[in-house]
Amino acid sequence: MVRVTGFYFWRDGATFDHDYYAGPHMALTREQLAPYGLCRLESDRVLGAQPKAGDLIAASHAYFESAAAAQAPLAAVGKILLADVPKYTTLAPQMVIAAVTSHA
C-alpha cells in the first residue's frame, strides 16, 4: 500500500477554509483519483489553539495499491487538484509519497 499525503503547515498571514477543504475539495479529489485506483481518501484537521508558524494544520491522505498506481494520477490530474487549492488556502501543500506498513 502507498499513501500520498499533502501536508499544510501554517505561516503567519495565511488563510485556510477547512469546510471547503473537507467538502468540495475532497469530493473533487475523490472524483479525479477514483479512475486511477484510489483505495481510500482521508483528510485531517488539526485541533487546538491558534496555530503558530510552522504548525501542521491539515493533511490529506490518498491510498493506492502501489507506487506506480500513486504516481499515474499525480501526473494526469495533479494540475486539476492544484488549481483548486487557492479556493481554500494561501498555503502550498507539501507532498510526500510513502510505503505504508500495517502493524495492527
- pTM, two decimals, is 0.92
Under the banding of pLDDT at 50, 70 and 90, the label for residue 2 is very high
Q: What is the pLDDT of residues 5-62, one digit of tens each?
A: 999 999 999 999 999 999 999 999 999 999 999 999 999 999 988 999 999 999 999 9
Specify the CATH number of the domain 2-99.
3.30.70.100
- pLDDT value of residue 74: 83
Q: What's the average model confidence in pLDDT over 74-85? A: 93
List residues bridging with 45 in a β-sheet: 58
CB neighbours (10 Å) of residue 81? Answer: 19
Closest Cα partner for 14 from 60, 43, 55, 59? 55
Of all residues in the chain, what percent are helix, strand and coil, respectively (each to 5)?
40, 30, 30
Using alpha carbons, list the distances in angstroms from residue 44 to 68, 72, 99.
Answer: 25, 24, 19
- pLDDT value of residue 20: 98
Domain ranges of the chain: 2-99
Q: Distance between terminal CA atoms of the chain? A: 15
75, pLDDT greater than 90: no
